[in-house]
Amino acid sequence: MTWSYSGDPSDSALDEIRFLIQDTDTTDQLLSNEEITYLYTAYGDAYSAAVACVVALIAQASRSAEESKKVGDLSLTQRLGARLQQWEALLKRLESERFRRYPAAPIVNANVLLPTAERNEEDEGSDFVVGQMDNKS
């Protein structure tokens, strides 16, 4: 597993996603290049992938209440509650920005424009908008 960040989010989707989720510190690496690339491939845009990355980080942080690190005689214990709250706040901001950049797209069901006698009975469809039921609060 590799980790890299060039410092230029306009350079690549990987760097853009790292910038959006603030996984830019080489001493505190959150997700590998492979994990981020997988999510980018699955979702197709940087904001959706960033949202998925934060969801993964929240799930990861939820697994334990605290994290301990030891270097020599020095031992640090960090409660993940504050970090978890920060990620949840980031998740809401990223979801709002994603919706602003990629608003819900109307989908037209041409079948509903036909006269009743000519409609496909198997198509129950009335028109709807992708994402219209998403909670944007």
Q: Which residue has the tokens 């009335």?
A: 126
pLDDT of residue 60: 83
Residue 90 maps to a domain = yes
At 12-60, the pLDDT tens digits run: 999 999 999 999 999 999 999 999 999 999 999 999 999 999 999 988 8
Angle between helical axes of 80-101 and 13-21 (0-180°, round to 10): 130
Identify the CA nearest to 38 among candidates 9, 1, 5.
Answer: 1
Structural domain range at position 53: 13-105
pLDDT of residue 72: 77
Identify the CA nearest to 22 among candidates 67, 96, 89.
Answer: 89
- Helix ranges restricted to H, the chain: 13-21, 33-43, 46-62, 80-101
pLDDT category of residue 67 using cuts at 50, 70 and 90: low
More confident call, 93 vs 122: 93
- For residue 73, pLDDT over 90 is answered with no
Residue 51 maps to a domain = yes
Number of domains in the chain: 1
